[in-house]
Amino acid sequence: MTRALVLFAHPCPESFSAALHGRVVETLAGRGWEVDDCDLNAEGFQPVLTEAERRGYHEVGPNIAPVAGYVERLRAAEALVMVFPVWNFGYPAILKGFLDRVFLPGVSFRLEDGRVRPNLTHIRRLAAVTTYGGTRVRALLAGDPPRHCVTRAVWHVCRPRKMRYLALYDMNRASTARRAAFLDRVGREMEVF
Asked if 133 and 168 touch (Cβ cutoff 8 Å), the reply is no
What stretches in the chain show pLDDT beneath 50? none
CATH number of the domain that residue 178 is part of: 3.40.50.360
Give the pLDDT confidence of 97-116 residue by residue, as tens digits.
Answer: 999 999 999 999 998 998 99
Q: Which amino acid, residue 157?
A: V
> What is the per-residue pLDDT for 90?
94
Give bridge partners of residue 111 from the DSSP assignment: 116
**CA distance readout (Å), 172 to 33, 167, 187:** 33, 13, 22
The DSSP bridge pattern shows strands 109-112 and 115-118 to be antiparallel
The rounded Cα 137 to chain-centroid distance in angstroms is 23
Give the pLDDT confidence of 28-52 residue by residue, as tens digits.
Answer: 999 999 999 999 999 999 999 999 9
Q: Strand 79-86: give its sheet, edge to edge.
A: 34-39, 3-8, 79-86, 125-132, 162-168
Domain span at residue 57 reads 3-191
Our count of domains for the chain comes to: 1
> What is the per-residue pLDDT for 76?
98
> What is the per-residue pLDDT for 1?
84
Phi, psi of 58 (to 5 degrees): -90, 5
The rounded Cα 148 to chain-centroid distance in angstroms is 13
pTM of the entire structure?
0.96
Strands (E), the chain: 3-8, 34-39, 79-86, 109-112, 115-118, 125-132, 162-168
Q: How far apart are CA 6 and CA 82, in angstroms?
A: 6
> What is the per-residue pLDDT for 35?
98
Whats the size of the chain, residue-wise?
193
Q: How far apart are CA 33 and CA 167, in angstroms?
A: 23
Q: How far apart are CA 152 and CA 146, in angstroms?
A: 10
